[in-house]
Amino acid sequence: AMEEVCAKFVSQKISKTRWRPLPAAALHSPDVFATGSWDNEDNRISIWSVGDLGNVGLGGEYQGEPQLLCDIRHNGDVMDMQFLDQERIVVASSTGTVTVFRHHQNNHTLSANHRWEKAHYHVDQDTSCGGAACTGVICNKPEIVTVGEDGRINLFRADQKDAVRTIDNADSSTLHAVTFLRTTEILTVNSIGQLKIWDFRQQKNEPSQIFSLTGGRVPLHCVDRHPNQQYIVATGGQDGMLSIWDIRQGTVPVSLLNAHEAEMWEVHFHPSNPDHLFTCSEDGSLWHWDTSTDVSEKPSFLHQGGRSTTYVPHNTINQSVVSAWLSNDPTKDRMEITNLIPNQTLSVNSLDVLGPCLVYGTDAEAIYVNRQLFA
């Protein structure tokens, strides 16, 4: 029933999966992705091609598993990974080091292009300071921002040896993830349920705004910003809930949506179709959230293959803006949720969406590619 999904077993637990960005004028679907591993003797950064494009089944579905183009050893667990451009990937390590790897496309090799040793570290008088995990990285070429277990924020610039800016005690708790709101502003999430906005134009090392989950101090693990409406932000954390925030108003989420039964590891708005959002979890599920308005006119493919599809009315505070994620029209106030992998038992650690394509990686030592998301 799931012939559009292709699996590749890789004998490594996969912590991160990322599509290589397409060139601005590209018309084809994404065809190359990178993975990073964790909790293995020997962790690796690997570059994959999606497989044999010529090998198409009778139903038009794609066949042929992803092919390894090249890989390179990585010191420590891969905590996060982002493409800086077509050739360079920035990788965050559990050792606190941040490395820029270059993919040489002519001869398919990977090399370490630049390294910021111990970009994150715990200060400890006795042991001359051990590394602290770098938990998150985000790129907006040439800028690279990293956050870590040490509560530190670094702003790097590709090809510059030293950090452009470091906010040493940005947070007293672990920073888990970071995203750009605009070129000079970032948003971080931490282990006590807070979102903080930081403006690099300001010299002071204080956040310009703080938001927090009401009630519990639930650790937040992931964040993504709506690609067109920069004030809409989605976060997920330890309780598996999806929170939608409007950072222009209030300091609490505009909606809290029941989602996974365990930690949510990643949340991603579809970059060109942001009425669609994807989340993955420790509970082994990967959910496709669809808020595009005419649920009744959806193609029936969502209901095939015994997938579980549920309709959830989502309760939001009245909003002045009409966005699917901040909707105040009760007739449209429904969203369709599909678990794209109903029978997975081990954690789905990472996902990435680009065009019609989804890639995700699991603790079951496998990577999966779906190239017909909206078939």
Per-residue model confidence as pLDDT tens digits over 107-127: 999 999 999 998 999 875 445
pLDDT band at 63 (very low <50, low <70, confident <90, very high): low
Between 101 and 251, residue with greater pLDDT = 101
- Average pLDDT (117-146) is 85
Question: 6-292+338-370: which CATH topology?
Answer: Methylamine Dehydrogenase; Chain H (2.130.10)
**34, β-bridge pairs:** 18, 47
Region 7-15: mean pLDDT is: 94
Lowest mean pLDDT among 7-11, 51-55, 124-128, 309-313: 309-313
Contact present, 219 and 237 (Cβ < 8 Å): yes
In the numeric block, the tokens 């992931």 are attached to 222
Q: Residue 62: pLDDT above 60? A: no
- What is the predicted pLDDT for the residue at 215? 76
Q: Of 125-134, 252-261, 308-317, which has the strongest mean pLDDT?
A: 252-261
User: Which has more confidence, 344 or 47?
Assistant: 47
Return the exposure string of 203-218: e unless at least 16 CB atoms fall within 10 Å of the residue's CB, then b. eeeebeeebbbeeeeb
| Rounded Cα–Cα distance for residues 369 and 351 (Å) | 10
CA quadruple 18, 23, 26, 31: dihedral sign: negative
**Residue 130 has what pLDDT?**
76
Q: Considering the chain, what percentage of its residues have pLDDT values greater than 90?
A: 68
Find all residues with CB under 8 Å of 164, minimum gap 6, and list them.
Answer: 143, 155, 156, 157
**219 prior amide bond cis, ω within 30:** no
Residue 127, pLDDT score: 54
d(CA 149, CA 132): 6
Alpha-carbon distance 4 to 59, whole Å?
10
Confidence band, pLDDT 50/70/90 cuts, at residue 58: low
Q: What pLDDT score was predicted for residue 265?
A: 98
| Average pLDDT value over all residues in the chain | 86
- Asked whether the beta carbons of 198 and 186 are under 8 A apart, the reply is yes
Q: Give the residue with greater pLDDT, 24 vs 287.
A: 287
Q: Would you say residue 59 has pLDDT above 60?
A: no
Give the pLDDT confidence score for residue 159 in this predicted structure.
86
| Structural domain spans, the chain | 6-292+338-370
pLDDT of residue 60: 52
Question: At which residue do the structure tokens 């077509």 appear?
Answer: 86
pTM of the full structure: 0.88
Instruction: Please say whether the dihedral angle defined by the alpha carbons of residues 278, 283, 284 and 285, taken in this order, is positive or negative.
Output: negative
Confidence grade of residue 316 (pLDDT, cut at 50, 70, 90): very low
Question: Mean pLDDT, to the nearest integer, of 9-23?
Answer: 96
Lowest mean pLDDT among 227-231, 249-253, 366-370: 249-253
Q: How far is CA 98 from CA 119, 279, 294, 313, in A?
A: 6, 25, 44, 42
Half-sphere CA count of 254, side-chain side, radius 13 A: 23
- Which pLDDT belongs to residue 2? 46
Quick one: pLDDT band at residue 1, thresholds 50, 70, 90? very low
Angle (CA) 261-266-269 rounded to 5° is 115
Q: Give, rounded to a whole angstrom, the gap between the first and last alpha carbons of the chain.
A: 14
User: Which residue is associated with the tokens 């038009």?
Assistant: 60
Q: Which two tokens stand for residue 372?
A: 């017909």
Sequence-distant (≥ 6) Cβ neighbours of residue 41 within 8 angstroms = none
Burial 229-268 (b: 16+ CB within 10 A, else e): beebbbbbbbbbbbbbbbbeeeeebbbbbebbeebbbbbb
Question: What dihedral angle (degrees, nearest 10) is formed by the CA atoms of 163, 169, 174, 175?
Answer: -50
Share of the chain above pLDDT 70, in %: 84
Stretch 78-107: mean pLDDT: 96
Environment class of residue 312 by beta-carbon count within 10 Å: exposed (0-12), middle (13-18) or buried (19+)?
middle
Query: What confidence score (pLDDT) does residue 171 get?
Result: 94
